[in-house]
Amino acid sequence: MGTAATFHVYTSRQHGKAGLSLRGSCHGASAARQLEQAVAELVATGAPFVWVDCRHLTFLSWHGQRAIFNAHQHGRVSGSVLHWCGISPAVLGQLASTGLHLLLSVLPAASYQGPAALLHEHVPSLPGRGFKPS
């Protein structure tokens, strides 16, 4: 992995809808922690559904997969359902290799019902966390 891939997590809660947009490659423990924290913050608001736009997610390390599992469990225990929308075939294959895809509510991109602002190509006005691998 010679390229300095970045990972961004954008969050939004608008009009009673909670969502995240995952963008780039989730490598390493710090990026995975931020993913878990972003989900925890949205779940803490009492949102019954958290919509996760995964159209721009390109890779998940085992740290990222563990973060998704932990986020799923945290939502389940807290009474929130996480919907993972628009996962690419490559990332879905990564999830399938561990069986994680069987636990998640994986939906096509068109099923996303979270905040519309997260679907824009550039979302710099929303809260975001960005990481470059060290």
Which pLDDT does position 2 carry in this prediction?
40
pLDDT tens series, the chain, 134 aa: 344 468 999 999 988 899 999 999 998 999 999 999 999 999 999 999 999 999 999 999 999 999 999 999 999 999 999 999 999 999 999 999 999 999 999 999 999 999 998 998 876 555 555 444 43
Which pLDDT does position 16 carry in this prediction?
87
Which pLDDT does position 14 carry in this prediction?
87
Which pLDDT does position 120 carry in this prediction?
86
Strand duo 128-131 + 7-14: pairing: antiparallel
Nearest one of 89, 5, 78 to 42, comparing CA atoms: 78
Domain boundaries, the chain: 7-113
**Span 7-113: which CATH code?**
3.30.750.24
Which pLDDT does position 123 carry in this prediction?
63
Which pLDDT does position 134 carry in this prediction?
36
Task: Give the pTM.
Answer: 0.88
Which pLDDT does position 32 carry in this prediction?
93
Give the span between the Cα atoms of 30 and 27, in whole angstroms.
8
